[in-house]
Structure 1
Amino acid sequence: MSILEGSSILVTGGTGSFGKAFISRILSDLGPRRVVIYSRDELKQYEARQLLGDDPRLRWFIGDIRDEHRLRRAMHDIDYVVHAAALKQVDTAEYNPFEFVRTNIIGSQNVIEASIDAGVKKVVALSTDKASSPLNLYGATKLAADKLFQSGNHYAAGYTTRFSVVRYGNVMGSRGSVVPFFRGLAERGESLPITDERMTRFWITLPQAVQFVIDSFDQMNGGELYVPRIPSTRILDIAEAVAPGAPRHIVGIRPGEKLHEEMISGDDSRRTIRAGDRYIVLPTIADWGFVMPDGEPVADGFAYQSDSNDEWLSVEEIRALVDGMR
């Protein structure tokens, strides 16, 4: 039984790929009392209504996480919060850096403030592999947000609210994923653009990401940064799985893009333990009554990177996952 059962839940960025999958899952399996979908785009809310229907447990809030007053109103009588709202396009961030700061950093602090004031019990914030040893502005803003949420437990030490972070890699089939992009090009008979033949990525499915977040709510005490143990893929294997035999051409790595992904750096590994299906990166300072989770320290020099991962998806396994998304 999950702590989310029978509770009141708010999802920022609730009309994104993760938000819709998470809300659909908890409505069908966890019996929440109320679910607040908080997002700033009325068209996406309209489209989400078509998908989720007029379930009486749903509440629809138009609002931006930059607006702390609106967040406070939306969080009235909320037990748990999933913070999924963010600006995410790497190249867009390089051209509009302060907009990403305002949403991903200042907006995250607004979520922290509003959650504490509303008496929310637990908050899980979604991070990204790009927050580990960030190379681009987007990753830097998400690293700052991760630090805010872990340190938010100091800020809320005299209150009931606790904060943790979930960090994972690419979500197969999400909006902006390479899978639907490659598939669309192949259906039109066009060549697939490959950034670099050596490129590798971590890979997780939407249902896996949703379950990981649900499990994190049940396990967290506040301050943990959870990283799932997931397989890696090669970009050439993804192309072959999605569009066998399709022509390809090399376009080069985009500004701010990494050849291989990293979810835990070598420096952070000194504060990392392995526990079942996940790694847990512990907070640097934890004097709010942090409860040490069970687990084994990772080996000296460990870094969780997509090119040195010990688990890989084959072309056949990728194709089976992709076909299951249709």
Structure 2
Amino acid sequence: MLNNKSILITGGTGSFGKAFVRTVLERYPEVRRLVIFSRDELKQYEMQQMFSERQYSALRYFIGDVRDESRLRRALEGIDMVVHAAALKQVPAAEYNPFECIKTNVLGAQNLIEACLSNAVQRVVALSTDKAAAPINLYGATKLCSDKLFTAANNIRGNRDIRFSVVRYGNVMGSRGSVIPFFLDKRRTGMLPITDSRMTRFNISLQEGVDMVLWSLENAWGGEVLVPKIPSYRITDVATAVDPDCSQEIVGVRPGEKIHEEMITASDSFNTVDLGRYYAILPSAGQFTIEDYCAQTKAQRVAPGFAYDSGTNPDFLSIAQLRTLINQLADQPHVD
């Protein structure tokens, strides 16, 4: 699929970008060009120590910011496919600096769309987040807006051979700032703080996220928000898996935090289909109907009122399964 293609990834020096680059280089040795687009020269230098242009002739490192449309237009010359991973995603920082978050996550998304339409880009997949479903904080609101921009971009593509789609998933297991590395650090104190004993979260690995993006590049029609079927875990089970001898103290839910993660709301159900491996939230107005989509993909419409959240998910990880996954993470670096 990606052999003889040119791909650009925004925010390419993050953990997703590194995993994506590693996977592409391993699976598609004949990829023509793989461009890492990001604004941090130090992170690019550090990534070059892992993936050098001398070792991999397809690699290019391109300094730029998604806020700068002219720089995006230059970077996208000759690019066939784009993966959009650049974002400001720290919830507290977004609440304190709201317009900075808007400039990157919303205006940056539109800049990328315009630049892709101005070049011969064929496929665009943007990364989203569970926080974009019924958002309660600014970060989630900006990602929902970004999702809408990308899905609606298909309406203005004209006769261009380009498709825009979105992938939405929850927290990556072991990501920096998430609960597992936090608990691993706190267990030496003998107490693990629990925000709410009812709290649940979805669980996805970094590689699963990469594989989903690759699937989307090949299979998405354009306009979908794709959601993976993944297991949940209870926060209390994670604490027990990390250290069953630690006490668990309830400290209260933090501002902007939900008890359960949502990825598909009941309001989305009327436009949502089941693809087997993934769900797809289809555009309510676009260039194809839900009936056409189901006929071609063998998808099934979900029941009216269907919702997909980590609390009602039928698939939960056990304490033993969590302990195994945590042990596998122990010797790995944390994810951004």
TM-score tier by shorter-chain length is over 0.9
AA aligned opposite 1:65:
V
| Aligned position for 2:334 | none
Q: Does 1:104 align with 2:137?
A: no
| Aligned position for 1:225 | 225
| Aligned position for 1:254 | 254
The verdict on how the C-alpha distance between 1:43 and 1:184 changes in structure 2, with shifts beyond 3 A counting, is: farther
| Aligned position for 1:194 | 194
Question: Is 1:268–1:281's contact at 8 Å kept on the other side of the alignment?
Answer: yes
In the TM superposition, what are the counterparts of 1:2-17 in structure 2 within 5 Å?
3-17=1-15
| Aligned position for 1:273 | 273
| Aligned position for 2:239 | 239
AA aligned opposite 1:91:
P
Encode CA deviations 1:267-319: one digit per residue, 9 max, x unaligned: 10110010111101000110379961431111122100110001111111112
Gapped regions of structure 2 (runs ≥ 5): 332-336
Taking the aligned partners of 1:126 and 1:231, their CA distance within structure 2 comes to 19
SS of alignment partner, residue 249 of structure 1: strand
- The Cα shift of 1:190 comes to 5.6
AA aligned opposite 2:128:
S
Taking the aligned partners of 1:137 and 1:216, their CA distance within structure 2 comes to 27
**TM-score w.r.t. structure 2 length?**
0.92
The verdict on how the C-alpha distance between 1:52 and 1:193 changes in structure 2, with shifts beyond 3 A counting, is: farther
RMSD of aligned alpha carbons: 1.6
Taking the aligned partners of 2:163 and 2:146, their CA distance within structure 1 comes to 15
Taking the aligned partners of 2:80 and 2:13, their CA distance within structure 1 comes to 20
Bigger Cα displacement from structure 2, 212-221 vs 236-245: 236-245
The verdict on how the C-alpha distance between 1:268 and 1:248 changes in structure 2, with shifts beyond 3 A counting, is: same
Encode CA deviations 1:152-207: one digit per residue, 9 max, x unaligned: 00121331221000000110122333222222223x43633321111101110011
AA aligned opposite 2:108:
G
Encode CA deviations 1:47-71: one digit per residue, 9 max, x unaligned: 2222334422211111110011111
In the TM superposition, what are the counterparts of 1:1-326 in structure 2 within 5 Å?
3-31=1-29, 32-54=31-53, 55-186=56-187, 188-189=188-189, 191-287=191-287, 292=293, 293-325=297-329, 326=331
- Tell me the percent identity: 55
**TM-score w.r.t. structure 1 length?**
0.95
Question: Is 1:153–1:163's contact at 8 Å kept on the other side of the alignment?
Answer: yes
Encode CA deviations 1:6-32: one digit per residue, 9 max, x unaligned: 311101011111111111111111222
Bigger Cα displacement from structure 2, 234-243 vs 58-67: 234-243
The verdict on how the C-alpha distance between 1:57 and 1:176 changes in structure 2, with shifts beyond 3 A counting, is: farther
Question: Is 2:73–2:116's contact at 8 Å kept on the other side of the alignment?
Answer: yes
SS of alignment partner, residue 266 of structure 2: coil
SS of alignment partner, residue 151 of structure 2: helix
SS of alignment partner, residue 209 of structure 2: helix
Gapped regions of structure 1 (runs ≥ 5): none
Bigger Cα displacement from structure 2, 301-310 vs 236-245: 236-245
Taking the aligned partners of 1:215 and 1:64, their CA distance within structure 2 comes to 26
Taking the aligned partners of 1:177 and 1:53, their CA distance within structure 2 comes to 30
Encode CA deviations 1:210-260: one digit per residue, 9 max, x unaligned: 111111111112111100000111111112223332333332211111111
SS of alignment partner, residue 267 of structure 1: helix
Encode CA deviations 1:67-102: one digit per residue, 9 max, x unaligned: 111111111111100001101111211111111111
**Residue correspondences, number:** 323
AA aligned opposite 1:317:
Q
Question: Is 2:11–2:17's contact at 8 Å kept on the other side of the alignment?
Answer: yes
Bigger Cα displacement from structure 2, 154-163 vs 20-29: 154-163
Encode CA deviations 1:109-142: one digit per residue, 9 max, x unaligned: 0111111111100000000000001111111100
Question: Is 1:116–1:160's contact at 8 Å kept on the other side of the alignment?
Answer: no
SS of alignment partner, residue 226 of structure 2: strand
Taking the aligned partners of 1:322 and 1:246, their CA distance within structure 2 comes to 16
Taking the aligned partners of 1:109 and 1:296, their CA distance within structure 2 comes to 32
Taking the aligned partners of 1:298 and 1:289, their CA distance within structure 2 comes to 15
Question: Is 1:18–1:174's contact at 8 Å kept on the other side of the alignment?
Answer: no
AA aligned opposite 2:313:
N
